[in-house]
Structure 1
Amino acid sequence: MSVLINEKIDNLLKTTSRSFYPTLKYLPKKVRGQIGLLYLLARVADTIADSKSGETDELLRLLRGYNDVAQGKSDNLPDFSSLAEIQENTHEAELLRNVQDVVDGLLVYSEEDRQRMLECLEIIVGGQILDLERFGPANEGGNLSALNDNSELDDYTFRVAGCVGVLWTKMSLAHLITLPAEKEGEFFEKGIRFGKALQMINILRDIPEDLRFGRCYIPEQELRKHNMKPEDLYDSKNIEKFRPLYDEYLDLTNEHLDAAIEYIKMLPETQFRLKASCMLPVLIGQRTVTLLRDGNILDSSDRIKVTRDEIKSYAKKLLRALIIPGGVKRLLEKNKNS
């Protein structure tokens, strides 16, 4: 893949993203850099908010200070060196050491594109701030807190991922495609659900990890309907009691993925790269949902994820599907329950 922004930022992007980077290479050049940079900007915020040490007030200060600089409200970038030192992931530590370079990447793009990216970042950071205020820092062994109800869950998935669907859609309409005015609202709605689908997968896949750090994204109100409380999710033996609710959320995720498929169908047939970049996360998402439905998500020793080899296989299948009439539809339908 050709240089997106510069070699340094491109390398940060490659090393901090396991599943997104392969998707990025399919994107048309006109929007590839903007989407990639937004990912890095958001990843900085996510790394700050999810740091496994530190006080809530300090993490909030760093997060707000970072966003103020990115948004052009301040020139005083916080010192992230101490936070970088405590990162378990060396790639995330390197990202924190190069935040200024990531922010400076915004200058490569037009004012209109910068505003699109920064609007999205503002929403994402707002979600991270809400997370810290709700749960506190991700310190192992802390008190367990849960979302209250499904409206909080839906709001969270929009703030951290649904808004990316909005950005993706805005970039596509600004640089790549034209849709009838009466179709744009539907296109944005499906784009939001596309983003929510991917975040729901993260939530439903990462339950044991989140619990370990005192965070439960399964709403307490819904757990009570099944005579459960957040603490019950620590015990893998409770999976059968939890499964009906868990399956409800997997069904919701599949409904969001179906909306993502409809989003892809709305793209012009000539936009092969744009279609491919949308299809790969859907294929991976469908497969992940199947694995989650079959496994015991409460068993922290059994990490459920799509392997790198499977991702490579999907990439090959995708290329074939794009050149065969009807191939995209058949691949998505076949993959949904495989």
Structure 2
Amino acid sequence: MSNPTRAELLGPLLKSVSRSFYLTLSVLPAGMRDPVGLAYLLARAADTIADTSLISPEKRMELLLSFRSQVNGFPDSDALTVIRAEVASQQMDSDEKVLLESLGPALVVLSQFGQSDREAVREIVTIITEGMEFDLRTFPDESSGRIMALQEFAELDQYTYMVAGCVGEFWTKMTYAHVPGTFSDPPTLVMDRGIRLGKALQMTNVLRDCGKDLRIGRCYLPATILTRWDLTPQDLLSPDLSLRARPVLFELVRKALDHYRAGIEYTLSLPSLSIRLRLACLWPILIGLETVSLLVNNDRWLDPAKVSKIRRGDVYRILALSVPMVASDRLLRMWAERLIAKIEARMND
């Protein structure tokens, strides 16, 4: 795919790099699919630039900032050449490599969007790359052998906004723009719930990936919470301390569940006949809650070899069960509340 067309970018390439998220994209109303899909591709490319550890953090920062500038309308063909030469060439995943080699055509597609969609995509990619910039500035080089922890929960909360809460914000703006009249609740309430849905999903990712992140020097679990339980980031490197560290896990899970409840209300505020939009919100919530359930039942949640990951068969089960229920507020609420109650019961044992 040397010079992909718009259809190839937002079809086969998007499907190959988005994996399970493509399920959500596929059920979106037609007008939303292209801007949401392109935003995903651009964010995924930025993430690959920021995470390619064979390149120095300083160089990654330089390329990331250049990429952000290009997304915001300042072309730099030399920088794209460097990304292809220095980042794409390091990728073991051929799909990621193709994505990085396709950034020129992707930016052309962005320029072809209407003004409101173009500005919305630029805004979300800017915020997400600010989250990646935060990572590169806050944490040590992956090969340094050092670990740095966030200090306060407010830092983690802001981080979850930058890398995922803003996605809920963008999603809501796209819904207002392309499916007007969808939401009946006040816009500020709808926007807050959308942001909190994104934060819930990212909090789940942070907790699920904790063991892996610690080994590259990143502790997203706030030091103030660790200190309360007489723990340090270095302690968390031992999977045998998973049980001792469960109070930290449970405290952050409870915060995540509060966000999930807001996400459920966000989903149920969509009209019952907005099947596609409901499914697109419902699937990440249910998959996220089942992941949280695995986490609170995982006695070695800090072990990177024992990651709490939902099985593919369970994903298909969720998809199959959700379709006949999606129009029923009562059934959806019961399903989500039953999952939350199961999680809370485990934490209260």
SS at match of 1:287: helix
Match of 2:229 among 226, 230, 234: 226
State which of 284, 288, 292 in structure 2 corresponds to 1:289: 292
Contact 2:175-2:182 at 8 Å conserved across structures: no
> Secondary structure of 2:284's partner?
helix
Partner of 2:40: 39
Q: Which residue in the other structure is 1:130 paired with? A: 134
State the secondary structure of the residue aligned to 1:240: coil
- Residue 237 in 1 paired to residue 230 in 2? no
Tell me which amino acid in the other structure corresponds to 1:52: S
In structure 2, distance between residues paired with 1:237 and 1:266:
43
Q: What CA deviation, in whole Å up to 9, does each residue of 1:185-237 have, x standing for no partner? A: 00000000011011111100001111111111111121111101100010011
**Which whole-Å deviations, capped at 9, do the CAs of 1:277-331 have from their partners, x for residues lacking one?**
0000001001000000000211222122111211111111111112567433333
Give the partner amino acid of 2:291: T
RMSD of the alignment, in Å? 1.9
Runs of 5+ in structure 2 lacking a partner?
A: 344-349
- Name the stretch that deviates more: 300-309 or 120-129: 300-309
Kindly indicate whether the alpha-carbon contact (under 8 Å) linking 2:272 and 2:327 is maintained by their aligned counterparts in 1: no
Q: Percent identity?
A: 35
Of the three residues 170, 173, 194, the one matched with 1:170 is 173
Question: 1:208 aligns to what?
Answer: 211
Kindly indicate whether the alpha-carbon contact (under 8 Å) linking 1:320 and 1:327 is maintained by their aligned counterparts in 2. no
AA of the residue aligned to 1:132: L
Residue of structure 2 in register with 1:72 after alignment = 73
Letter in 1 for 2:260: L
CA displacement 1:68-103 (0-9 Å, x = unmatched): 111102333432222122223332222212222222
Equivalent residue number for residue 97 of structure 2 = 93
- Alignment length, in residue pairs? 334
1:306-321 aligned at under 5 Å gives the runs: 306-321=310-325
TM-superposed CA distance for 1:104, in Å, is: 2.1
Change (3 A) 1:287 1:143: same
**C-alpha distance in 2, partners of 1:332/1:239?**
27
TM-score (norm 1): 0.93
Whole-Å separation in 2 of the counterparts to 1:306 and 1:334? 17
**Cα separation, 1, equivalents of 2:263 and 2:276:** 16
Q: For residue 114 of structure 2, what is the aligned residue in structure 1?
A: 110
The question of 1:191 aligning with 2:190 is answered no
Q: Which moved more, 1:122-131 or 1:72-81?
A: 72-81
Q: Which residue in 1 is equivalent to 2:12?
A: 11
Comparing 225-234 and 172-181, the one that deviates more: 172-181
1:274 match: 277
Q: How far apart, in 2, do the equivalents of 1:313 and 1:105 lie?
A: 36
Taking a change above 3 Å as real, the CA distance of residues 74 and 101 of structure 1, as seen in their structure-2 partners, is: closer
Cα distance 1:18–1:330, how it changes in 2: closer, same or farther (>3 A)?
same
Residues in 2 aligned to 1:181 and 1:313: alpha-carbon distance in whole angstroms = 31
Matched, 1:54 2:55: yes
Read off the aligned partner of 2:106 and give its amino acid letter. Answer: V
Match of 2:347 in 1: none
1:20 aligns with 2:21: yes
Contact 2:197–2:260 under 8 Å retained in 1: yes
Contact 1:127 1:160 (8 Å CA) reproduced: yes
Distance in 2 between the 1:108 and 1:64 partners?
A: 22
Kept in 1, the 8 Å contact 2:209–2:304? The answer is: no
AA at the equivalent of 1:88: M
Shift of 1:260: 0.2
Write the letter of the residue equivalent to 1:134.
T
* Range with greater deviation from structure 2 (161-170 or 174-183): 174-183
Secondary structure at the aligned position of 1:6 is classed as: helix
Letter in 1 for 2:277: L
Do 1:163 and 1:195's aligned partners in 2 also have CA atoms closer than 8 Å? Answer: yes
Matching residue within 119, 124, 128 for 1:120: 124
Residue 301 (structure 1) aligns with: 305
| Structure 1 residue corresponding to 2:336, chosen from 294, 319, 332 | 332
Contact 2:160 2:199 survives alignment (8 Å): yes
SS in 2 for 1:169: helix
In structure 2, what is the Cα distance between the partners aligned to 1:187 and 1:108? 29
CA contact (8 A) 2:253 2:292 kept: yes
CA distance in 1, matches of 2:328, 2:184: 30
User: Residues 32 and 230 from structure 1, CA distance in 2 versus in 1: closer, same or farther, beyond 3 angstroms?
Assistant: same
Unaligned runs of 5+ in 1: none
CA contact (8 A) 1:52 1:87 kept: no
**Matched residue type, 1:49:** A
Secondary structure, aligned partner of 1:48: helix
- Equivalent residue of 1:301, what SS? helix
